Amino acid sequence: MSVMLECKSLSVRFDGLAALSDVTFRVQEGDLFGVIGPNGAGKTTLFNVISGTLRPTSGEVYFQGRRISGLAPGRICRLGIAGTFQPVRPFASLSVFENVLVGACFGRDRRGASKDSERHAHEALRFVGLESKADRIAQDLTPAEKKRLEIARALATDPQVILLDEVLSGLTQVETTEILALVRRIQDKGITAMLIEHVMRVVMELCGTVLVLHHGARLAQGTPQEVMNNPEVIEAYLG
Amino acid sequence: MPSEIIQLTVGGILLGGIYGLAAMGLSVSFGVLRILNLAHGEFLMVGSLITYALFVSLGVNPFLGALLLIPIFILLGAGFYWVLLKPIARKPARDMLTASVLVTLGIALAVEDLTAFLWERPVTGIAYSLPPLEIGGVVVSSVRVLILIFICCMAAAFHVFLRTTFAGKAVRAITQCRDGAEIVGVDIARIAAWTFGLGAAAAGAAGAFYVTLFTVTPAMGIPLTVKYMCVVVLGGLGSLIGSVLGGLILGLSEAAAAYWIGPEWSPCVAFLLLIVILIAKPEGFFGSR
Amino acid sequence: MMAGRRPSVSFSVAVFAVAAVFAVLPAMTVSYGLVWLFLVAVYLTLAVSYDIVGGTMGHMNLGHASFFGLGAYSTVILMNQGLSFWAAVALAVPVTVLFAALISYPFTRLTGAYFALGTFGLISLMNVLAHNLRDLTGGSGGISTPPGDRTVEAYYLAVIAAGATIALSRSIARSRFGLALRSIREDADTARAFGVPVDLYKCGALVISSAPAAFIGGVYAWKATYISPSSVFGLEIALSPIVMTMLGGSGTAAGPIVGVVFLTIAQELLWTRIPYLHLAMYGVIMVIIGLLMPGGIVRSRWFRRVMTRMGMSSRWMD
Ligand SMILES: Nc1ncnc2c1ncn2[C@@H]1O[C@H](COP(=O)(O)OP(=O)(O)OP(=O)(O)O)[C@@H](O)[C@H]1O
Ligand SMILES: [Mg+2]
C-alpha cells in the first residue's frame, strides 16, 4: 500500500478564526478514511483545501507524492480528486445526465471524444442507480437522489480519491443503507475515499482509518477502535 | 481664473449633493431588496417636473415643493414596490435579477416615453432666485447654499431614521442578514415597501433641487439611474455616508471633466467610473453575490 | 437532451423549405414587405446571438448592441475611406471581435446584477463616444454611406446571417462548450471545481456572440445608408432583441425566434397605426413578461400543448 494523499501541517484562518491549525495526516491507497469532529471542527474546510477551492494559509497537500496545494480546482479534479458538496450543489436546471456529463467531459484526465464522455456519464449514472432518471431536471430529484447525483458526477471524473462530505445526513433509514452500500461499492472499485460523517456507528463499521478534528486541530488518528478508546476524544465528544 | 474654479467646485459639490441624496435611496433599497431598480432615476425626473409645474402654475417655491414631494413620493414608492416588485422579490436570485431588470427598466421606458409625449419641450430650469450671499469675499448664489443646507438636513434625517427608529433598525438588520431578520420576525415586505418609499422620496426631493439648477428632459432618467448606480457602487451598499461621498466624487469629477475636456464629455465620467469600479471590485462594494 | 442527435429528415426538409421560401420572396413581394423581413432578420440575428451569452450562459448582456453599433460605424467609416462594402464589413467584424476580446476578460469577471449594470454602462459609454468623436462619427448628426438602393442584397445577406447565427447557436448548444456554458450559468464555482475552464469559456462566449452582431450591424448600416448614435447605440436597438428573447423564452432554441416573430408582427400591427409611445409599449411588454411569464412564451404550458399537437418535437423548447 502506498500513500495516496498527504497533508502537511495545513492551517487555514478566516480573519482571526483558525478553521484548521497544523493538521498533518496521510491517507493510504484504497483506504476508506473517515473524518469526524463536532460541528465547526473544520472538516468541510479540510475538504475544500484538498479539492483546491480554498487555499491554505500555510501547509501543503501532496497527491501521489506531487504537490497539489495551489493548483486550480479544475486541475486537481483532472489529476484525480473529486468530491461532493455540503450542502448539495447540482446544476439545478440541467438534466441529471447533463450534470454527470459535465464531470465526464471536463473533469477527466484525458480529453476523450464526446462519445466516450457520454458513455462514462451513463456508466456513472448506472453505478449509482440513477439511469432511469437521466432525463429528469436535477432540481426535481429527492434529497437522496441529489446525493447520488453528486456522487455520480464525481465518479464520472474517474477519480482516484473521492471526497464525500456528509452524504448520509438528512436521509431516511432505507436511503442511508442504500448509500452505504454504494460507498462500499465505490471502495471495491479501488477508489480511495474520504468520508465526513457524524453517525459514529457508520464510521466504526466502514472506515479503516479515522481522523478526529476538534477546533481545527488534529485530536487523534488511528483505527476506529483506537480512536474510540482515546480519552481525549471521549472528552471532546462528551464535554 | 480662481473664481471660476471656485464656481466650478461649488457647482460640482451641488451636483454631487443631489446625486448623493438620490443615490442614498437607491443604496438603502438595494440593501434591503437586493433588487436592481433601474427606474430610480425616473423618480428624480418626475419630481423635477412636478416641482416645475407647481412653480409655474401656483408659484410654489422649490424648497416647499421638495417638502411636499416627500410624502407623495413615499406613497408612490411604497405602491411601486407593492404592486411591481413584491411579486418578484421571493424568486431565486437569477430569476429575480432578470425579472427585476425587465420590470424596472420597462417602467423606466414607459415613464420616460409617456412624459416625453406629454411634455413636448425640455424644461429649462426654474427662474427662482434670492439675493446673492457674500462669504469671505466670494459671491455665491443663496439658492445654491440653501439647497446644500437642505440636502445636508435630509441626509442627516435619513441617517437618524436608520440609526434610531425601529423601522430603521429593521432595515439595517435586513441588509446585514435577511434570513436572520426574518426569523426574528421582521416583516420584510412591509419594511421593504417603506424603504422603497423613502428611497423614492429622496430621489423626488433631489429632483426638486435639480430643476432649479439644470435643464430637465424626460430622457434623462435612465442615464441618471446609471449615475446613481455608479455612486452606490463607489460608496458601498447601504452606506449613507458612502453615498454622499460617492455623489461628491462623481459631481466634482463631472464638473472637472466639463471644464477641462469639454461639457459633452461629462456624461462619460459616470459610465467609465462605473465600469472601472465594478471591474476593480468584481463583487462590487456590496460584497454580496 | 443533448449531443450527437442527428437532425431528422423532416427537420432537414423543413429547413430547406424555409430557405426556399425566403429565396424566392424578393421576386414576389413589394419592397415594403422586403424591408420588414429585413428587419426581422436583423432582430433574429441580434436576439439569437444575444442569447448565447444571455440565455445559455445566463449573463444578461444589456450592452450586446455595442457590437452591433461598432460593426455599423466601422463599416460606414471604412466605406467612406473608399472601401467597398465587402471589404469594409470584412474589416469591421474582426475589429469588433477584437474589441469584444479586449473587454471580455474584465467584463466576464462580473456576475449577476453587476454584469447587467456594467454592460449597460458600456452601451451608454459607446453612445456618448459616438456623439462626441465628431471627426470620426459625425456626432449626433450621424454619418452616411455613399448612396445606393441595396434593399434586395441586404435582405439576402440578413437572411443568411440570421440562418447562420441560428445554426451557430444550435451547434453551440449541442456541443461540450454549450454544456459548459450552461453549467456556468447554474453555478460557476461548481463548474470550475469539475474542470470547466470557466474564465476562458465566458470570454469565448462573449467574443463569439459579438461576431454576428457586428456583421448584421454592417449590413444594417449599408442598407440604411445612414446611421446615428441613437439608431445603433440607442435604447430601442439595445433593448428590443433582449425583450424579444425574453418574451419568447431565453435559453431555449425556439425562444428568440418566437419572440422576434411575435413582437415584430405586433409592431407591424400596432406601431404603424400608433406613431408614438413605441418605447412605452415596449416598457409595458417588459413589465408584463417580468411579472407574469418569466420563462417566456416557449416555456408556457399553452404553447407546449399547441406545439405537441402540431407534432413538433420538444427539443425546440429546451
Ligand atoms: N468562508 C468562511 N469564512 C469564514 N469562516 C468560515 C468560512 N468557512 C467556514 N468558516 C468557519 O470555519 C469553521 C470550520 O467550518 P467547517 O465548515 O469546516 O466545519 P465542519 O467541521 O464542516 O462543520 P459541520 O459539521 O457543521 O459541517 C467554522 O467555525 C466556520 O464558521
Ligand atoms: Mg461541514
Comparing CA positions, the residue from B62, B42, B56 lying closest to residue B116 is: B42
- The answer, yes or no, to whether residue C19 has pLDDT greater than 90, is no
- A39 CB under 6 A from ligand 1? yes
> Is C4 in Cβ contact with A114 (below 8 Å)?
yes
pLDDT tens sequence across C235-286: 889 999 999 999 999 999 899 999 999 989 888 887 778 888 888 888 998 8
- A214 CB under 6 A from ligand 1? no
Instruction: List A222's β-bridge partners, or say none.
Output: A210
Nearest Cα residue in chain C from B281: C110
Q: Look at domain A1-80+161-239 and name its CATH class.
A: alpha beta
What pLDDT is attached to residue C159? Answer: 94
C-alpha cell at B272: 467609465
Q: pLDDT tens digits, chain B, 289 residues: what are they?
A: 567 787 788 888 888 888 888 888 888 777 777 777 889 999 999 999 999 989 888 888 888 988 999 999 999 999 999 999 988 887 877 788 888 888 999 999 999 999 988 887 777 777 777 777 777 666 777 777 888 888 888 888 888 887 787 777 877 777 777 777 777 777 778 888 888 898 899 899 999 988 888 888 888 888 899 888 888 888 877 677 888 888 998 999 998 998 888 888 988 898 888 888 888 875 545 433 3
> Is B289 in Cβ contact with C287 (below 8 Å)?
no
- The answer, yes or no, to whether residue C30 has pLDDT greater than 70, is no
Helix, strand, coil percentages for chain B (3-state, nearest 5): 80, 5, 20
The dihedral of CA C138, C141, C147, C150: what is its sign? positive
C-alpha cell at A82: 473529486
C-alpha cell at B89: 422579490
Contacts of C312 (CB under 8 A, 6+ apart): none
- Kind and range of the H or E run holding C242: helix C235-248
For residue A2, which phi and psi values (nearest 5 degrees)? -110, 165
- A19 CB under 6 A from ligand 1? yes
Q: What percent of chain C has pLDDT over 90?
A: 61
Contacts of B180 (CB under 8 A, 6+ apart): B173
Distance CA A176, CA A235 (A): 28
- A59 CB under 6 A from ligand 1? no
For the residues of C188-225, what is the DSSP string, one character each? HHHHHHTT--HHHHHHHHHHHHHHHHHHHHHHHHHHHS
> Is A74 in Cβ contact with C193 (below 8 Å)?
yes
Determine the 3-state secondary structure of C186 from DSSP: helix
Contacts of A238 (CB under 8 A, 6+ apart): none
Comparing CA positions, the residue from B6, B82, B14 lying closest to residue B244 is: B14
- A42 CB under 6 A from ligand 1? yes
pLDDT tens sequence across A157-188: 999 999 999 988 888 889 999 999 999 999 99
C-alpha cell at A14: 478566516
In chain C, what residues touch B95 (CB-CB under 8 Å)?
A: 294
What pLDDT is attached to residue A30? Answer: 92
CB contacts < 8 Å between B and C, how many? 136
DSSP state of A37: -
Comparing CA positions, the residue from A65, A69, A64 lying closest to residue A23 is: A69
For residue A217, which phi and psi values (nearest 5 degrees)? -110, 155
- The answer, yes or no, to whether residue C148 has pLDDT greater than 90, is no
Tell me how close the Cα of A96 comes to any Cα of chain C, in angstroms: 10
- The answer, yes or no, to whether residue C73 has pLDDT greater than 60, is yes
Chain C interface includes B101 (CB < 8 A): yes
How far is residue C262 CA from its own chain's centroid?
A: 15
pLDDT tens sequence across C218-227: 999 999 999 9
What pLDDT is attached to residue C200? Answer: 96
- The answer, yes or no, to whether residue A20 has pLDDT greater than 90, is yes
Half-sphere exposure at residue C161, Cβ-oriented, CA atoms within 13 angstroms: 32
Distance CA B278, CA A1 (A): 51
Comparing CA positions, the residue from C139, C130, C159, C136 lying closest to residue C223 is: C159
What Rg do the C-alpha atoms of chain B give, in angstroms? 19
Ligand 1 center to A43 CA (angstroms): 8
Distance CA B244, CA B18 (A): 9
What pLDDT is attached to residue B90? Answer: 78
What pLDDT is attached to residue C312? Answer: 63
Chain B interface includes C294 (CB < 8 A): yes
- Give C 155-184 residues with CB within 8 A of chain A: 175-176, 179-180, 182-183
User: Which of A11, A17, A194 has most ligand 1 atoms within 8 Å of CB, for mutation?
Assistant: A17
Q: Under the phi-then-psi rule, with left for phi > 0, alpha for psi from -120 to 50, and beta for the rest, what region is C250?
A: beta
Do the bridges between strand C143-144 and strand C226-227 make them parallel or antiparallel, or are there none, so unpaired?
antiparallel
Determine the 3-state secondary structure of A137 from DSSP: strand
Chain B interface includes C58 (CB < 8 A): yes
Q: Is the peptide bond before A87 cis (omega within 30 degrees of 0)?
A: yes
Distance CA C318, CA C182 (A): 12
Chain C interface includes B272 (CB < 8 A): yes
- Find the CB nearest C196 among A74, A82, A92: A74
**Confidence at C211, pLDDT banded by 50, 70, 90:** very high
For the residues of C115-154, what is the DSSP string, one character each? HHHHHHHHHHHHHHHHHH-HHHH-GGG-EEPSP---HHHH
Directed axis angle between helix B221-235 and helix B266-280, to 10°?
40
What pLDDT is attached to residue A114? Answer: 60
- Mean pLDDT in residue range A126-148: 94
pLDDT tens sequence across C104-139: 988 988 888 889 889 999 999 999 999 999 999 998
Query: Cell 437642505 belongs to which residue?
Result: B150
In chain C, what residues touch B233 (CB-CB under 8 Å)?
A: 117
Chain B interface includes C270 (CB < 8 A): no
What pLDDT is attached to residue B162? Answer: 78
Determine the 3-state secondary structure of A150 from DSSP: helix
What pLDDT is attached to residue B24? Answer: 86
CA-to-CA separations, B208 to B48, B58, B79, B278, C265, in angstroms, rounded: 5, 15, 21, 30, 42
C-alpha cell at C156: 439576402
Q: What is the mean pLDDT of chain A?
A: 91
Cβ neighbour number for residue B143 with a 10 Å cutoff: 22
- A14 CB under 6 A from ligand 1? yes
Distance CA C137, CA C129 (A): 9
- Find the CB nearest C191 among A72, A75, A102: A102
Distance CA A198, CA A215 (A): 16
- Mean pLDDT in residue range C20-33: 72
Chain C interface includes B274 (CB < 8 A): yes
CA-to-CA separations, C267 to C50, C259, C262, C277, in angstroms, rounded: 20, 12, 9, 12
**Confidence at C162, pLDDT banded by 50, 70, 90:** very high
**Confidence at C1, pLDDT banded by 50, 70, 90:** very low
Nearest Cα residue in chain C from B112: C280
What pLDDT is attached to residue B22? Answer: 86
pLDDT tens sequence across B164-174: 877 778 777 77
What pLDDT is attached to residue C244? Answer: 93
Quick one: B79 exposed, middle or buried, by C-beta within 10 A (0-12, 13-18, 19+)?
middle
For A63-77, A149-163, A193-207, which range has the lowest pLDDT when averaged over its residues?
Answer: A193-207
Q: Which residues surround ligand 2, an ion (CB under 5 A)?
A: A 44, 86
Residue whose CA is at the smallest distance from ligand 1 atom 12: A19
Give the residue extent of every domain in chain A: 1-80+161-239, 91-159
Comparing CA positions, the residue from C96, C126, C286, C301 lying closest to residue C206 is: C96
> Is A52 in Cβ contact with C193 (below 8 Å)?
yes
